Amino acid sequence: MTALDLSSPVAVVGAGTMGQGIAQVALVAGHPVRLYDAVPGRAREAAAAIVARLDRLVEKNRLTGADRDAARARLVPVESLAELALCSLVVEAVLERLEVKQQLFRELEEVVGDDCLLATNTSSLSVTAVGGALRNPGRLVGLHFFNPAPLMPLVEVVSGSATDVGSATRAYQMARGWGKTPVACADTPGFIVNRVARPFYAEAFAVYEAQGADPATVDAVLRGSGGFRMGAFELTDLIGQDVNESVTRSVWESFFQDMRFTPSLAQRRLVESGRLGRKSGRGWYDYEEGAEQPEPHTAEKAEPPAYVVAEGDLEPAGELLALIREAGIEVREEDEDHGTRLVLPGGGQLALADGQTSVEFRDVVYFDLAFDYRRATRIALSASKDTASRTLTEATGLFQALGKDVSVVGDLPGMIVARTVARIIDLAHDAVAKGTATEEDIDTAMRLGVNYPLGPFAWSRSLGRSWAYDLLEDLHLRDPSGRYAPSLALYRHAYASEKREGTS
pLDDT value for 5? 87
3-state secondary structure of 104: helix
Rounded to a whole number, what is the distance in angstroms from the first to the last CA of the chain?
46
Give the C-alpha distances (Å, rounded to integers) separating 101 from 60, 95, 485.
37, 7, 36
Strands 307-311 and 330-334: parallel
d(CA 154, CA 194): 13
pTM of the predicted structure, to 2 decimals: 0.95
Identify the CA nearest to 319 among candidates 237, 386, 364, 376.
376
Q: What is the pLDDT along the chain (504 residues), one digit of tens a residue?
A: 456 788 899 999 999 999 999 999 999 999 999 999 999 999 999 999 999 999 999 999 999 999 999 999 999 999 999 999 999 999 999 999 999 999 999 999 999 999 999 999 999 899 999 999 999 999 999 999 999 999 999 999 999 999 999 999 999 999 999 999 999 999 999 999 999 999 999 999 999 999 999 999 999 999 999 999 999 999 999 999 999 999 999 999 999 999 999 999 999 999 999 999 999 999 999 999 999 999 999 999 999 999 999 998 888 999 999 999 999 999 998 876 555 799 999 999 999 999 999 999 989 999 999 999 999 999 999 999 999 999 999 999 999 999 999 999 999 999 999 999 999 999 999 999 999 999 999 999 999 999 999 999 999 999 999 999 999 999 999 999 999 999 999 999 998 755 555 543
Question: Residue 264's Cα: distance from chain center in Å?
Answer: 17
- Residue 114: CB atoms within 10 A of its CB come to 8
Question: What does the CA dihedral 316, 322, 326, 327 come to, rounded to 10 degrees?
Answer: 40
Nearest to 158 by CA among 191, 135, 181, 133: 191
Sign of CA dihedral 57, 61, 63, 67: positive
* Helix (H), strand (E) at residue 319: helix 319-326
* Cis, peptide link before residue 148, omega less than 30° from 0: yes
| C-beta separation of 147 from 235 below 8 A | no
pLDDT value of residue 504: 39
The rounded radius of gyration (Å) of the Cα atoms in the chain is 26
Residue 268 one-letter amino acid: R
CB 43 within 8 A of CB 70: no
Q: Please, is 39 exposed, middle or buried when counting C-beta atoms within 10 Å of its C-beta (0-12, 13-18, 19+)? A: exposed
- pLDDT tens digit string along 57-90? 999 999 999 999 999 999 999 999 999 999 999 9
CA–CA separation, 480 and 262 (whole Å): 14
Q: What Cα–Cα distance (Å) separates residue 406 from each residue in 275, 294, 401, 409? A: 30, 16, 11, 10
Residue 56 burial class via C-beta count within 10 angstroms: exposed 0-12, middle 13-18, buried 19 and up: exposed
- Taking the C-alpha atoms of residue 95 and residue 298, their distance in angstroms, rounded to an integer, is 44
Output phi, psi for 341, to 5 deg: -160, 165
Crossing angle of helices 241-254/232-239, nearest 10°? Answer: 100
CA 326, 327, 330, 336: dihedral to nearest 10 degrees? -70
Entry field: residues in the chain: 504
* 369-422 per-position pLDDT tens digit: 999 999 999 999 999 999 999 999 999 999 999 999 999 999 999 999 999 999
Distance CA(382)–CA(363), nearest Å, equals 12
The Cα–Cα gap between 61 and 82 comes to: 37
Task: Report phi then psi at 32, rounded to 5.
Answer: -65, 135
